[in-house]
């Protein structure tokens, strides 16, 4: 996995990868801006409709704080969903540089399938973490239990998604099931690495793209990294 990480870092300056970083960051920030702005407007409108008067401004501020907190909690899901739209570009760039033979037989992932995969990833992340939120809260008393469970659960989820991003270019839907069944450990390790990157400030801005590149190396070099 360290080899995959090193190779991925070395390609961050690739124009194709930089374009994906720019597009994914712009769309992620736009999503969060819409969340914050929409929450502020909706809270003020609701307060005014109830005759709150100047309290509507306080409601708007409270909504902004809540939206920012929600954005922080949802960053991983939104970032992965967004990069899922452009993952094929990252995988293609890595294969073009490092695995040209695989690129000749690859099938680009259709846009609608990419959108479905990205949204499915986000939905799974939100749903699973919401279900586990009481356990996260209960484990706070342990000091490390919440962080450990969060890392394991989200590593499992992310590893599945990252593996699929690459495998979808080289396998049909039936073959994907066999791929998932035989690569659970490798995908978990990949997901743990990606999840760790997503919680590091600043690094998390490029972590989804970096994780997609790592997944490409892992897929083509399984057993060697």
Judge whether 205 lies within some domain.
yes
Q: What is the mean pLDDT of each run of 10 residues along the chain (225 residues)?
A: 84 88 83 76 70 62 67 69 79 90 83 78 84 87 85 87 86 82 87 87 85 91 60
* Structural domain count of the chain: 1
Q: Which domain holds residue 209?
A: 2-220
d(CA 211, CA 225): 15
Judge whether 119 lies within some domain.
yes
Judge whether 87 lies within some domain.
yes
Judge whether 225 lies within some domain.
no
Residue 98 has phi, psi (to 5 degrees) of -110, -25
Would you state the pLDDT for residue 225? 45
DSSP string, 125-147: HHHHHHHHHHHHHHGGGGSSHHH
Token digits for 181?
A: 């069944």
DSSP string, 90-101: HHHHHHHHH-HH
Predicted structure pTM score: 0.79
Would you state the pLDDT for residue 57? 65
Judge whether 43 lies within some domain.
yes
């Amino acid at each position: 996995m360290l080899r995959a990480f090193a190779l991925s870092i070395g390609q961050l300056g690739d124009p194709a990868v930089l374009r994906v970083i720019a597009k994914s960051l712009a769309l992620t920030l736009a999503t969060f801006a819409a969340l914050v702005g929409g929450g502020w407007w909706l809270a003020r409108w609701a307060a005014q409709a109830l005759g709150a008067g100047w309290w509507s401004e306080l409601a708007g501020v409270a909504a902004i704080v809540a939206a920012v907190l929600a954005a922080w909690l949802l960053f991983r899901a939104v970032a992965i969903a967004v990069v899922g739209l452009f993952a094929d570009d990252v995988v293609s760039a890595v294969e073009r540089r490092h695995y040209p033979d695989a690129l000749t037989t690859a099938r680009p992932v259709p846009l609608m399938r990419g959108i479905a995969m990205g949204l499915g990833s986000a939905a799974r992340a939100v749903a699973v973490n919401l279900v586990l939120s009481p356990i996260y809260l209960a484990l706070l008393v342990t000091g490390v239990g919440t962080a450990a469970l969060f890392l394991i659960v989200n590593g499992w989820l992310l590893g599945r998604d990252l593996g699929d991003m690459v495998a979808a270019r080289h396998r049909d839907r039936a073959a994907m099931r066999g791929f998932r069944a035989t690569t659970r450990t490798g995908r978990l390790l990949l997901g743990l690495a990606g999840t760790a990157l997503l919680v590091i400030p600043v690094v998390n801005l490029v972590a989804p793209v970096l994780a997609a590149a790592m997944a490409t190396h892992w897929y083509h070099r399984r057993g060697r990294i």
